[in-house]
């Protein structure tokens, strides 16, 4: 029973950390709070196989987002991340222009890529699964990301806000969104490996 009690206290502490809540007497006191992604400390890379030789690595350089987490219901609500498709960058000008065209992102007709959170489930003391709907090229499909909480604390420099440091990854198939260029002849891989590294700051007056 003693070990069980210690485990419950530890889980409560973790919930408090994940939400930036207060912890008193071993019990988490937390309310739904809003966090805003710090675009200066956000990186999302994608990796796609090129003709079987090596994976091309790219990113989107223009992104914004926020989310609200409720520890009582263990749900994430009002969570959204928006990427400006035109900001795609692979360190090769001609390739980036091709990616912006109709074969891939078709930015003239679909300028935004949007991820809307639908839920979150803790899987460990600092890990969880974040589910959401990814909209791209006029298609929407569910995606699940494996998330790791790296750190949760008041920022030691600069803004000084309570900040979460997070890593996440997922694997998708771009053909699910109708992006099929190069798939049939194995010129460009269908599988896309996504990796997120970012910080999110608790908004001032973040208690709801």
pLDDT in tens, 65-107: 999 866 565 556 789 999 999 999 999 999 999 999 999 999 9
Instruction: Check: pTM over 0.75? Answer yes or no.
Output: yes
What is the structure's pLDDT at 68?
A: 81
What is the structure's pLDDT at 32?
A: 78
Alpha helix (H) ranges present in 23-165? 93-100
Domain boundaries, the chain: 30-207
CATH number belonging to domain 30-207? 2.40.128.110
Q: Strand, helix or coil at 144?
A: strand
For the four alpha carbons of 144, 147, 153 and 158, in that order, the dihedral sign comes to negative
DSSP 161-181: -EEEEEEEEEEEEGGGGT--T
Between 8 and 134, name the one with better pLDDT. Answer: 134
């Amino acid at each position: 029973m003693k070990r069980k009690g210690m485990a419950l206290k530890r889980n409560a502490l973790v919930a408090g950390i994940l939400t930036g809540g207060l912890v008193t007497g071993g019990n988490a006191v937390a309310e739904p709070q809003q966090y805003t992604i710090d675009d200066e400390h956000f990186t999302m890379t994608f990796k796609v196989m090129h003709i079987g030789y090596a994976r091309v690595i790219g990113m989107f350089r223009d992104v914004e987002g926020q989310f609200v987490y409720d520890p009582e219901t263990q749900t994430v609500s009002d969570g959204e991340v928006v990427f400006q498709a035109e900001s795609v960058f692979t360190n090769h000008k001609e390739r980036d222009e091709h990616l912006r065209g109709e074969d891939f992102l078709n930015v003239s007709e679909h300028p935004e890529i949007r991820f809307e959170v639908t839920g979150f489930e803790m899987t460990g003391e600092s890990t969880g699964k974040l589910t959401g709907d990814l909209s791209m090229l006029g298609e929407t499909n569910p995606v699940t990301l494996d998330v790791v909480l790296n750190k949760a604390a008041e920022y030691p420099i600069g803004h000084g806000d309570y900040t979460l440091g997070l890593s996440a990854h997922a694997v998708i198939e771009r053909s699910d969104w109708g992006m099929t260029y190069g798939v049939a002849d194995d010129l460009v891989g269908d599988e896309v490996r996504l990796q997120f590294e970012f910080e999110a700051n608790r908004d001032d007056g973040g208690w709801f």
